[in-house]
Structure 1
Amino acid sequence: MAGPTAYFDPARTPELDAATRDLVERRARAMGSAYRLFYGHPLQLVRGAGTRVWDADGREYLDAYNNVPSVGHSHPRVADAIARQAATLTTHTRYLAEPTVAYAEDLLSTLPPHIDNVMFTCTGSEANDLALKVAKIATGGTGIIVTENAYHGVTTEIAAISPSLGGPESLAPWVRTVPVEGDLGVSVRGAIAELQAAGIRPAALIVDTIFASDGAWPEVEGFADAVTAVHEAGGLFIADEVQPGFGRLGRGMWGFDRYRLAPDIVTVGKPMGNGHPIAAMMARHELVDAFNERSRYFNTFGGSSVSIAAAQATLDVLRDEKLIDNARDVGAYLLTGLTSTGLFEEVRGVGLFLGARLESEQRALATVNALRERGVLVATSGPANDTLKIRPPLPFSRADADRLMTELVALG
């Protein structure tokens, strides 16, 4: 079975209790073998609120992992906005809609002024796929540079630039990878030289600005020089903000802000609609114009009336409840606390996106499963799968942080 061993092993299905075994077997028959389940014992969740979720037996869990419900599970303002719009009208972007235009303007107002066009999609994978199309048409190049364990999505094009999915052998011949450790500028210049030596013109450097799949790296040396290098080679800088964006890092809305960088294209996804499927690509209008001369774009559900209602409510809650400030304050508290436990080889991160590295993959996986049994949900990350990924909903409180740390210390 391809993928991290944090997934449930289907060979262990006979060991499950009768009810769970029946559901797992039905799922496998109906949905096939390509899907994965978390944890040594699969978890059936039936309800959520804020930073808590409940399983089918009524047991409560602290969610320290899921960034999709960014303003909290089942936030009443978001749920109400979705229900009201679904009861009024559901249509797409080929009809005029004032709320869609208003949201586009609102979202763009959070970005640098040169990012002045937005194109809506359903998923971050689609947003990144569209970004690559725009970059390749605008630059005339095809070469893409990514980090060594990057994940940018699951479309055919984007899976081909996501080494964390299938390893280096799964990458397209027009892709080069660079390490996160060391000087990123030097590595990117080397990758550009490799592409050019192979007769491949660079189109873009695409980077998840918290380097999530590489293990969460809040400070990467030479990032600005890497962007300069790709611009000098005629390529673009695409900031993949699907995971770090919308205030998760506690310092402004976007991960690239922390480096004072000016991306050419920005992509967003998962947290945008608090669980409702909406995502987007934002870019300089001249790039969109160049794309429009050679192609066209439409997405039936990207930017639908209901999706926009969810996204606007999520953005409003993010501001009104000061969740970016909360991510900054609670994240700093958690970073200090995790470091002081002495349990980890290293703790990295900023805001509410932390990576706590243990001595081995085996220890990390054991910790994830032990925490699940103690009612706390986390996952693993990094090339060696030895890093706890802590990425909770943004209302995560100091009390939540204390509970997480108490359970970790109890495990020893």
Structure 2
Amino acid sequence: MTEENPHRPQLVTTRARVLGGTYRTFYSEPLTVASASGCTITDADGRDFLDAYNNVPVLGHSNPEVRRAVDEQLGRANVHTRYLDGLIVDYAERLVGQFPDSLEAVIFACSGSEANDLALRLAAHATGRDGIIVTRHSYHGTTSAVAGISPSLVGADVVDHVEAISLPDWDDPDFDTGLASAIQAAAERLRERGHDLGAFIFDSAVTSDGILSPRPLTATAAEVRRHGGLWIADEVQSGFGRTGRAWGFEHLGVVPDLVTLGKPMGNGLPVSAVIGPHRIFDDFGAEQRYFNTFAGTAVPIAAAEVVLTALEAGALTARASEGGELLESLITEAVAASDTPALVRRSGLMVGIDFETGGTTAETAAGRAKAMVEHLYAERILVSTTGRMGTVLKIRPPLVITDDELHELAGGFARALARLEVGSVHAGE
């Protein structure tokens, strides 16, 4: 990195003093943001960084259409949903039109955590059961309810009515059958503890476990339902075209019972949703109140409309498919030309480079992935890690990334990998 901004130490000190201790920063030298546009974040020193991590601004940072739409609504009205507003109703109709017929209605929230929290309440009410199955390293949010089902956040301290299951090997040809067997065993363990299965909540791209290449999971879905559970598709990270289809579950051959949306839905504005059938929503609403003051108000819905328009036009899915294929090819080529073993997995324009392969221990793989994050930061490319112990390098750019930017990303990756190998030799690996 270049010489440190003289104002950064004071900013870091003040930030630590006034913000709560839960806050973290990325990278050994935190990035100080001055502005952002498209896939570029410019720091306080005027240096441009390629954002290959942030999937919230799916249409890119500071998108002008989103800005115009939000400004227009701020000048019109932004009231809660206990009044009628045609803008909100029209958007809801368009949104549910993107789903299978059984997923016919929407409830809005403000964050993916809230959407997943509500989905758990809906599932428990619909089934009369509280048992939940999640994947071993999943993340579903930060409310008390969803933190308790997020092993990547709380470790082994998931709540008693939750079972965390390990995934089969990534390349297992019987992956679906193996996952179904894990569901069966977990459901039986829950029943022994007095918690019949109510829901299996599954990130359709398995983002926090290490990124799953698309494949059918029909046997898994059948096993969940055989035990009386609902399938909740957590599309907070995999939705809105990220995987090359509108919704990640479309790759799995599964029609979920409930779907949760978040992150890219409003291109950075706080809006999320649960999609599901009237029978579940109406029965719940008849017995329990649910109201969220800021959920589904006109300003975030205006931003969400711009994203939905791009999804309807096919722009997001096409870019995820084409850009993802190019990036996978370039990264695979760079790995093949190196001496560092790694497996490349892709779901649309979400790519995972797994360093835990070829006999590499998890500890060594995690060290390599962490070092690659810093080496890419030195190349002014922003990425992060995921998976067990952080052994997988995660690349997940806004879906407006250009081919030139993908080549820039891949070139930086190759240089970072070469630097990693030099460092490994010096460290005596």
Q: Work out whether the TM-score is over 0.5.
A: yes
Query: Deviation string for 1:110-136 (max 9, x for gaps)?
Result: 000100110000000000000000000
Superposed CA deviations along residues 158-191 of structure 1, whole A, max 9, x for unmatched, are 00000000101x2000000111225111101111
**Aligned match of 2:77:** 89
Return the alpha-carbon distance in structure 2 between the equivalents of residues 62 and 16 of structure 1: 19
Q: In the alignment, what sits opposite 1:362?
A: 367
Would the aligned equivalents of 1:180 and 1:220 in 2 still touch at CA under 8 Å?
A: no
Question: 1:48 Cα shift?
Answer: 1.3
Distance in 1 (CA, whole Å) between partners of 2:220 and 2:190 is 15
Q: For 1:250-399, list aligned pairs within 5 A.
A: 250=244, 252-320=245-313, 322-342=315-335, 343=338, 344-359=341-356, 360-399=365-404
User: What value does the CA root-mean-square deviation take over the aligned residues?
Assistant: 1.5
In structure 2, the residue matched to 1:8 is: none
Does residue 405 in structure 1 map to residue 410 in structure 2?
yes
Q: Which moved more, 1:145-154 or 1:15-24?
A: 15-24
- Measured against aligned partners, the alpha-carbon deviations of 1:319-347 in whole angstroms (never above 9, x if no partner) come to 44712101101101111221121255100
- 1:46 positional shift: 2.1
Q: Counterpart of 1:3? A: none
- For 1:6-405, list aligned pairs within 5 A: 18-168=6-156, 170-181=157-168, 182=175, 183-219=178-214, 223-250=217-244, 252-320=245-313, 322-342=315-335, 343=338, 344-359=341-356, 360-405=365-410
CA drift at 1:16: 6.7
The aligned amino acid for 1:394 is: L
Q: Compute the displacement of 1:254 (Å).
A: 0.4
Q: Secondary structure of the equivalent of 1:243?
A: coil
**For residue 102 of structure 1, what is the amino acid of its counterpart?**
D
Find the residue that maps to 2:390 and give its secondary structure.
coil
Within 1, Cα distance between the matches of 2:188 and 2:86? 47
- Mapped partners of 1:339, 1:408: distance in 2: 11
**What amino acid does structure 1 have at the position aligned with 2:373?**
V
- Using the TM superposition, give the Cα deviation of residue 151 of structure 1 relative to its aligned residue in structure 2, in angstroms: 0.1
Q: Deviations over 1:323-382 (max 9, x none)?
A: 210110110111122112125510001211110112511111111111112111111111
Give distance in 2, aligned partners of 1:112 and 1:80.
Answer: 31
Contact 1:71 1:318 in 2 (8 A): no
Point out the more displaced range, 157-166 or 393-402. Answer: 393-402
Question: 1:206 & 1:220 partners in 2: Cα distance?
Answer: 17
Instruction: Report the alpha carbon displacement of residue 19 of structure 1 after superposing the two structures with TM.
Output: 1.4
Q: What is the CA-CA distance between 1:318 and the residue it aligns to? A: 3.5
TM-score, normalisation: structure 1: 0.93
User: Quick one: distance in 2 between partners of 1:114 and 1:36?
Assistant: 41
Provide the C-alpha distance between the structure 1 equivalents of 2:354 and 2:207, rounded to a whole number of angstroms: 13
TM-score by structure 2 length?
A: 0.90
Q: Which moved more, 1:287-296 or 1:35-44?
A: 287-296
SS at match of 1:384: helix
Q: For 2:310 and 2:64, how far apart are their aligned partners in 1? A: 10
Whether the aligned pair in 2 keeps the contact of 1:237 and 1:263 (CA below 8 Å) is: yes
Return the offset for 1:79.
0.8
Identity over aligned pairs, percent = 42
What secondary structure does 1:347 align onto? strand
